[in-house]
Amino acid sequence: MANIAIQRIKREFKEVVKSEEVAKCAIRIDLLNDSWTQLKGEIAGPPDTPYEGGNFKLEIVVPETYPFNPPKVRFLTKIWHPNISSVTGAICLDILKDQWAAAMTLRTVLLSLQALLSAAEPDDPQDAVVARQYKDQPSIFRSTAQYWTGVYAGGPIQNSDYDQKVRRLVDMGVDENTAVATLSSHNWDLEHATEHFFS
Amino acid sequence: MSIACSNDEVTTLSTFLSTSSTIPHGGFDYELLGGNTDSRYECPICLLYMRNPVITSCGHRFCGACISQWTGNQSNLNGCPVDGTKLSEEHIFPDNCTRREILACKAKCPYLKEGCSAILTLSEMDKHVELHHTLSLNSSNGSMRLNGIVATNGNTECMFKEFGCVSVFQPDQLQRHLETEVHHHLQLCTASYKRLKKILSRPPVMEYPNPRDLYTRQGSNDSGRWLLFDDIDSDEYNFRRQRSWDSVRFARRYHSRTNCPERLAESDESLSKHSSQLSGKEATCSNSCHSTLSAASNHEGIQLKDLFERIVRLEQNDREKQIKIDRLESQLSSVISLFSKVTCFMDDLTARYCNGTFVWKITGFQDVCKEMRNTTRVLTSPGFYTDTFGYKLCLRFNLTTPKPADATATTAIDVPLEMDDSTHVGLYVHFMQGEFDEAIPWPFIGEIKITIVHPKNPEQSLNESVRSKPEAAAFAKPIIPRNPTGIGYPDVCSLKKIFSDGFVQNDSLHFKILAKTT
């Protein structure tokens, strides 16, 4: 790995550790190994969003050409969001692609992701199913996102109705994560979801 | 230290260097004094203090290498890394002002933990690190500067081989070896240094070689060869010299033990033969033959060396002496200044503790008077205090001419002092700024008595006394070091009276002032 990338990450690491966002537990970066290329990020769900109260873990891979190319970032925690794949956690965010600038840092990336959680861009979706739900049935989107936050990100809000539906599918032998995903995609219509599995 | 490389080694090294030159240098990765606090100097790309800073037309600064890599990297969108403004070559300018400011910042040497406490400006730091810390090389990333000595079998010998390190290892083990064997290498270096010192300090041999030695030397071929001064190079010199002298000593012993007359006769015979050879060659000044004469010239070489060493010693001595002298001179000057301070202090004490009675002695009175008559006509006594924390006063002694319009007054200068009737003595008391003026009442209230002392007959002394007048400016608190207004008598007596009535004894005159507050 080029020296400049390591130097940069080391310095950024210090910067993030000292920053006020860390003090407020809003963002966090951890090292995974000694190579400074594999990092683990964590962002708190922003207030007044369905993600409030959740903690979302991120995988950050720093390329050798950093900071001239963006870091590769993906959600490790499952999340229901139009711009984030509910299956892989891949993120659709311009600054992680063609709008990357060398002056950006891991800190600004994490803060941008936090901003993305509070302001989704359904017209530039990563997950088409989620984006459609976001546009057509905002209330279901909201409760689904809240439910996912509760199940996967340690959010505070429980939804016993959704829980029951999931348990029904699990009882039928469906994997729990698959059950949640399928029900969410079908707007929590148990019949449609069951059809999806057994047709 | 010699660095031997095989051909392969050379090519790899040159590839290393060429690749390392293409790797962009980011900013200065050093710990700055007081922390890297100034974000103005930080490159937003590498987050270090900028190396060769440039400024863009949108007003952002970067390391030259960082921004050129950014613009070269993003072929589609070359926006400014900070605000996205479109950038091309003509929008980027070198910022030499910032460059100078950054280069003047001071940083700690990155090898602080290894014991280097150097604090240098960034402009000096790169060179310092390269000069002093290149041993901590990293052969894996191409910053390799020192090489081991590559032996024929492909293994690497330690670069301290010349000092006695016999380690041999794979090329990639060199760094590890250098790191772990620091102490060993240091010991070897120290030992080498000691040996070298011993060689240099060995006193040269002064005795002139006697014919018997010459004979032995000639007989013992190579081992008896004298060394030229130029040969003095290394350990080898010492060793060879040792050997030659050993052989001489051996020969002496041999001759002293073998008391056999034939042998002696034989040696004496050859001795005389050789001495005749010597004289013959000296006479002809022929250098063609190398035997006794070459030995003699070699001896001159040694003598030369001896003289040279003596010069060095003397110069050293001279330098030490010079340093000693400098030190003594500086000590002397400090003692002198201390002495003058003490003198001042003593004068001050005298002035302070005279308790209002002050005697002013003017020595060399005749000369003083002549000088005064020609020039200033004024002489002022040192200051004194009425009591320890009282008023500070001084006496002004004037020469006055009561009738300046009179033609005789102008010629008074030519009249001898003893006869000078036209010049008169004026005496005034002036108040001076004292240390305790704030603590005492103003104006001064009291009596001041001025006396011109007659040394033989006190009754003949001239007395004048002044009582303070509160409204007179002379008794007010002085606002400059000496109150310009004094109080006294413009005409106490004539100069002639001073001289003729015997006031001057041993060419000195005494004034006595008695100041008392009431």
Domain presence at residue B413 = yes
Q: What whole-number distance in Å separates Cα of residue A153 and Cα of residue A79?
A: 8
Domain presence at residue B1 = no
> Do B253 and B286 reside in the same domain of the chain?
yes
Q: What whole-number distance in Å separates Cα of residue A71 and Cα of residue A102?
A: 11
Indicate the pairing of strand B31-32 with strand B384-385: unpaired
Question: pLDDT digits over B370-382, tens only?
Answer: 888 777 678 888 8
Q: Which residues of A touch B48 (CB under 8 A)?
A: 7, 11
Residue B271: phi and psi, rounded to 5, are -60, -50
Q: Is the per-residue pLDDT at B335 higher than 60?
A: yes
Domain presence at residue B3 = no
To 10 degrees, the CA torsion angle through A151, A155, A158, A162? -40
Q: For residue B123, with 0-12 CB atoms within 10 Å meaning exposed, 13-18 middle and 19 or more buried, which class applies? A: middle
> Do B102 and B164 reside in the same domain of the chain?
no
The confidence score (pLDDT) of residue B372 equals: 82
Domain presence at residue B2 = no
Which of B46, B77, B79 is facing A7, going by the closest CB pair? B46
Q: Tell me if B47 and A15 make a contact (CB, 8 A cut-off).
A: yes
Q: Is the per-residue pLDDT at B253 higher than 60?
A: no
Which residue type does A166 have? V
CB-CB contact of A169 with A182 (8 Å): yes
The confidence score (pLDDT) of residue B232 equals: 42
> Do B113 and B38 reside in the same domain of the chain?
yes
| Among the listed residues B426, B454, B431, B459, the one whose alpha carbon sits nearest the alpha carbon of residue B443 | B431
Residue A55, C-beta contacts closer than 8 angstroms, at least 6 positions apart: A42, A43, A44, A45, A77, A153, A154
Tokens for B55, please give them. Answer: 């400024």
Q: Is the per-residue pLDDT at B316 higher than 80?
A: yes
Q: Is the per-residue pLDDT at B106 higher than 60?
A: yes
Average pLDDT over residues A108-124: 90
The CATH number that applies at residue B413 is 2.60.210.10
Q: What whole-number distance in Å separates Cα of residue A194 and Cα of residue A178?
A: 12
> Do B328 and B272 reside in the same domain of the chain?
yes
A17 touches chain B (CB under 8 A): no
> Do B493 and B436 reside in the same domain of the chain?
yes
Tokens for B385, please give them. Answer: 């205090």
pTM exceeding the 0.90 threshold for the entire prediction: no
> Do B237 and B303 reside in the same domain of the chain?
yes
CB atoms within 10 A of CB A62: 24
What are the boundaries of each domain within chain A?
3-118, 128-198
In chain A, % of residues over pLDDT 90? 41
Per the residue annotation, which of A92, A110, A113, A151 is the catalytic one? A92
In chain B, % of residues over pLDDT 70? 68
End position of a domain, from candidates B115, B145, B175: B145
The confidence score (pLDDT) of residue B499 equals: 84
Which of A3, A98, A103 is facing B45, going by the closest CB pair? A103
> Do B228 and B182 reside in the same domain of the chain?
no
Q: Please state, in angstroms and as integers, the Cα–Cα distance from residue B158 to each residue in B13, B149, B168, following that order.
A: 18, 6, 6
Any bridge partners for residue B514, and if so which? Answer: B357, B449
In chain B, % of residues over pLDDT 90? 9
Domain presence at residue B414 = yes
Q: Which of B20, B30, B45, B82 should we substitute to test contact with A (largest number of A Cβ atoms within 10 Å)?
A: B45
Q: For residue B133, with 0-12 CB atoms within 10 Å meaning exposed, 13-18 middle and 19 or more buried, which class applies? A: middle
Domain presence at residue B8 = no
> Do B139 and B191 reside in the same domain of the chain?
no
The confidence score (pLDDT) of residue B283 equals: 47
Closest chain A residue by Cα to residue B25: A4
Q: For residue A116, with 0-12 CB atoms within 10 Å meaning exposed, 13-18 middle and 19 or more buried, which class applies? A: buried
Please check whether the domain covering A3-118 is classified as CATH 3.90.1310.10: no
Domain presence at residue B29 = yes
Average pLDDT over residues B452-480: 86
A25 is an active site residue: no
Q: For chain B, how many residues are written? A: 518
Tokens for B308, please give them. Answer: 């040279």
Residue A119: DSSP 8-state: S
Looking at mean pLDDT, say which of B218-222, B402-406, B492-496 comes out highest: B492-496
Max Cα-Cα span within chain B: 126
CB-hemisphere CA count at 13 Å for B444? 33
CB-CB contact of B479 with B415 (8 Å): no
Looking at mean pLDDT, say which of A49-58, A154-163, B89-98, B352-361 comes out highest: A49-58
Q: Tell me if B82 and A8 make a contact (CB, 8 A cut-off).
A: no
Domain presence at residue B411 = yes
> Do B111 and B188 reside in the same domain of the chain?
no
Q: Is the per-residue pLDDT at A24 higher than 50?
A: yes
Which residues of chain A from 92 to 131 reach within 8 Å of chain B, CB to CB? 98-99, 101-105
> Do B138 and B273 reside in the same domain of the chain?
no
Which residues of chain A from 141 to 170 reach within 8 Å of chain B, CB to CB? none
Q: Which residues of B touch A7 (CB under 8 A)?
A: 26, 29, 46-48
> Do B345 and B220 reside in the same domain of the chain?
yes
Q: Tell me if A101 and B82 make a contact (CB, 8 A cut-off).
A: yes
Residue B55: phi and psi, rounded to 5, are -125, 140
The confidence score (pLDDT) of residue B329 equals: 95
Q: Which of B23, B42, B47, B61 should we substitute to test contact with A (largest number of A Cβ atoms within 10 Å)?
A: B47
Q: Which residues form the domain of B272?
A: 204-352
Q: Tell me if A101 and B76 make a contact (CB, 8 A cut-off).
A: no
CB atoms within 10 A of CB B26: 25
End position of a domain, from candidates B352, B373, B395: B352
Rounded-to-5 percentages of helix, strand, coil across chain A: 45, 15, 40
The confidence score (pLDDT) of residue B355 equals: 82
> Do B370 and B293 reside in the same domain of the chain?
no
Q: Is the per-residue pLDDT at B177 higher than 50?
A: yes
End position of a domain, from candidates B286, B318, B352: B352
Q: Which residues of A touch B70 (CB under 8 A)?
A: 68, 102
Position B312 confidence tier, pLDDT thresholds 50, 70, 90: very high
Q: Is the per-residue pLDDT at A130 higher than 80?
A: yes
The confidence score (pLDDT) of residue B42 equals: 87
What ipTM was predicted for this assembly? 0.78
Question: pLDDT digits over B122-162, tens only?
Answer: 888 888 887 777 654 444 443 344 444 444 455 667 777 77
Which of A7, A99, A102 is facing B29, going by the closest CB pair? A7
How many domains does the structure of chain B reveal?
Answer: 4
